[in-house]
Structure 1
């Protein structure tokens, strides 16, 4: 079980590699730091040769997913992950049930019961799969659709 979800997809280029890379370069604002800022471009990030590491430039939700990939002569691949900063924040959020039950037991407001262990595990699973999983699925699909529109390619079915 992965703590944080990732998504890997392969695509087939409609145009040639040079045209696709040119399109990506025109629509990407160069940035060493993958942070959100107002821009008229579709992405922010780095492009080195035929490899890229970008985030969507949508303010508020674009920086959640980092897309890294490679564009080959006729195809390419992209991997979508949660940004490092968000991983740290979400890790803290995942620890809240453990911290809460520990504080409740140590302060004496609750006596220890084995059922608390099941409750904490259930809360962590709900946070991971209901909140983080659904948010990642929605935001990664949004970022991947934007990448597909800019680069003009077709997804390859696995």
Structure 2
């Protein structure tokens, strides 16, 4: 089980590789560090030949998912991950239940009980699968739909 979700998908190009890469170049603002910023383009990121590493330019939620992939002559693939900065912040949030229960026991506010361990585990699982999982599902879907619209390709069923 991964701590943070990822998504990998294959696609088939409708146009040729050169046209698809030109379209991606035109709609991507160059940025070494993948940060969110106001722009009239669809993406921000790096394009190296037929490989790319981009984020959606949507302010507030576009930088959550990083899309990296490769466009080959007839097909390609894309991998969607949570941005490194968000993984660090979410790791800290995942530690909150354990820290809270430890502080409560050490300060004497609560006596130790085995139920606390179960509660901490359930809280961590809820944060991971409900909050992080759903956020990733919706935001990655929005980013992938934007990529599909810009590059004009169709998904290959796995």
User: TM above 0.5, one fold?
Assistant: yes
How does 1:118-137 map onto structure 2 within 5 Å?
Answer: 118-137=118-137
Shift of 1:144: 0.1
Q: Which residue of 2 aligns with 1:98?
A: 98
Q: Which residue of 1 aligns with 2:70?
A: 70
Distance 2:71 2:26 in 1: 15
Q: Structure 1: give runs of 5+ residues left out of the alignment.
A: none
SS in 2 for 1:111: coil
Q: Which residue of 1 aligns with 2:33?
A: 33
Aligned length: 158
Q: Which residue of 1 aligns with 2:139?
A: 139
Q: Structure 2: give runs of 5+ residues left out of the alignment.
A: none
Distance 2:117 2:33 in 1: 40
Distance 1:65 1:47 in 2: 16
Report the TM-score when normalising by structure 1. Answer: 1.00
Distance 2:114 2:28 in 1: 53
Distance 1:108 1:118 in 2: 19
CA RMSD of aligned residues (A): 0.2
SS in 2 for 1:10: strand
Q: Which residue of 1 aligns with 2:55?
A: 55
SS in 2 for 1:54: strand
Distance 1:2 1:106 in 2: 31
Report the TM-score when normalising by structure 2. Answer: 1.00
Distance 1:37 1:127 in 2: 28
Q: Per-residue CA shift, 1:28-63, capped at 9, x if unaligned?
A: 000001000000000000000000000000000000
Shift of 1:13: 0.0
SS in 1 for 2:154: strand
